[in-house]
Each structure stands twice: as structure tokens, then as C-alpha cells.
Amino acid sequence: MFTLAAPAEKTVIVLGTFNYPPLMIDDRLSADERFNSGMSVRHGIGVDFIKNAFRNNEAYQLKIKFYPPKRAMAQFVYRDTDIFLGSRMDVPEIKDEIIPIKIISLKSVLFCMPTQCDLANQKDSPTNLGYISSITGSPVNDPLERKGNQVVALQDIEKTFIHMLRGRSDYVAAIDFAGYHTLRANDFIGSKNVEQTKHVLMEIPYDAVVYKDSIHSQAIINILKAELRRVNLMIEPDKLVANYFQVSGP
């Protein structure tokens, strides 16, 4: 008599990240939806890319955990998560211990009301501009402060725009297409008047980051690189967002 062998239990791989639409979206539906692989729930361009990479994988089960930005970075530094989705620049203290897999390249820019944009555009660099809202842990924060600006660090991108539109800061530092997506997706008073300055604050690689010495790192890298070969994310940001939400581009 033959008996069927029980299926091998999958190894759980924990992805840690933070809310930054449309790249990472914490839908806040329920703990189960937020913390499991939730294939039917859209979690943003980057998270869904990784979900698709692990879809139907026979060896690994992906779990997703959303945290506030600084905590997401700390959880990875403390090795409480296996993959960090953000940028290698978010965790400089462990730069020699990690392997980043770049998904796309991002540009951080300044958003502002027309008068403030005019003032900023008169300068060759964003120096002594005043108060700039940004998310906590952003790699642009320290360079902006070194240029004489006052950075107001907040927990998510929506709050940075609300802060500026209420007159509590002069600018918002954000990824360009993420900023425009936030303005379009929320009915903020005055948001239609928001412009972008000429300054590119920083080119930021958008990465899935793993530890070099993890026993699963090579397998994770192979899974993600196979998905990168399968899809084409290296397109214009507006088209990337439009394709993701299945709407016509601007």
C-alpha cells in the first residue's frame, strides 16, 4: 500500500516596508490582509511586483508587514524581516552587509505652491528655502538640512502634503510620480495649484534589499531577478502608474 507524502512546509519570507503610494500601499483593511501575502489585495507597484515573483513558489511563502518608515528600516537592520522594500540608501549603517536588487530608479523633487517654487527656481540649488516636509528616514533629509533647510519629518506622504497645504511648511520633498499620484488621489484643498521646482534632489534606487549572509538570499535574488526579466518596469513613471492602475496616461 502506498501513501502520499505530505507536502513540504514552505519557508516563510517576511517582506518589511512602509506606506508610500503608489509604490507601497498599506490598505489598512485588516491585520490578516495587511500581514499575509494577500494576492487579491493591491499593495502598490513594488510590493505587488514581489508578490508576483513569489506567486506559486513551491519553496517559499511571502508575508508582508507594513510599518512606519523608520521602524520598517529598523526591523530590517535588526533582522526581523528578510526583505526590505525601499532603497539601499535607507539603511546606510549596514551597506556592507546587504545586497540590493534594483527594481526601478526614482527621482526625489520639491513640490510647492507657485510663489515658493518661483523663489526656489531662482537658486542653483535648494539652499536655505525654509521648512520642507518629508517622510521620516528619507535619504534626502540630511542633505537638505546641510543646505540650511528645516526638515519636518512625517510618517507618510499624504501628511507631508497636508502639512504644506495648511501653511506649516514651504515645500514637500517626495518622489516625483508618487507626489503627483498623492495629489490626484486625494481631494486636498489647493492641491491643483501645486507645482514642482527645477531641482532634482537625488536619484534614488528603488530596491528590494536582502542580507548577504542569509541562507535564503541567493534564492530570493534568483526569484526577483527572474521576475525582473519577465516584466518591464523601466518605463516612464507616469506610464508605470497608469499601467498599474489601468487608467489612461496623462
Is the domain of 78 the same as that of 96? yes
Residues of the chain with pLDDT under 70: 1-7, 28-41, 234-238, 245-250
Is the domain of 113 the same as that of 146? yes
Residues facing 63 on adjacent strands? 14
Residue written as grid cell 506567486: 55
The closest alpha carbon to 141, from 160, 158, 123, 122, belongs to 160
Asked if residue 139 is part of any domain, the answer here is yes
Is the domain of 82 the same as that of 100? yes
CA dist 72 and 208 (Å) reads 13
The closest alpha carbon to 16, from 83, 78, 62, 79, belongs to 83
Asked if residue 141 is part of any domain, the answer here is yes
The three cell numbers of residue 55 are 506567486
Beta 171-175 vs 83-86: how paired, if at all?
unpaired
Confidence (pLDDT) at 36: 47
CA dist 107 and 176 (Å) reads 6
Confidence (pLDDT) at 31: 41
Check: CB of residue 179 under 8 Å from CB of residue 158.
no
Is the domain of 96 the same as that of 111? no
- The pTM assigned to this predicted structure is 0.86
Tell me which residue range forms the domain holding 213: 11-105+205-245
CA dist 107 and 55 (Å) reads 29
**Cα torsion 21, 23, 26, 27: sign:** positive
Is the domain of 79 the same as that of 93? yes
Tell whether omega for the bond before 68 is within 30 degrees of 0, i.e. cis.
no
Is the domain of 146 the same as that of 92? no
